[in-house]
Amino acid sequence: SENEKLSRMKRLEYLKFNPREDEENMLVMLRADRVYEESLSQERKEIEELVEAMQNALDEKNILMIEVSKKKLTELLDEIETGNSDQYVA
């Protein structure tokens, strides 16, 4: 039926989309790399864990998990960047 065709086309479009190529996702990962380089060991461990979770979600193309992990990572990066700079800068 026509509805079935549209439904299948939507699913195929989703499969073609690579969330790693999404600009917002790329910017968060680049920001994480920069903050990681400027951070001390404890903050680095936290960043590593959240980056790994986001990478896993990106690999699985799980939109919900991508959004959740991106939010957690962004919150941590905000916390580190707005904290006392000499506490976090290596």
Mutual orientation of helices 23-38 and 63-82 as an angle, nearest 10°?
40
The predicted pLDDT at position 16 comes to: 64
pLDDT tens-digit profile of 21-41? 889 999 999 999 999 999 988
pTM exceeds cut of 0.75: no
| Angle (CA) 54 56 59, round 5° | 110
Q: Where are the alpha helices (DSSP H) in the chain?
A: 2-16, 23-38, 41-60, 63-82, 85-88
In 3D space, the residue among 34, 36, 55 whose CA is nearest the CA of residue 47 turns out to be: 36
User: Is residue 77 within 8 Å of residue 35, measured between CB atoms?
Assistant: yes
Mean pLDDT of all residues in 58-67: 90
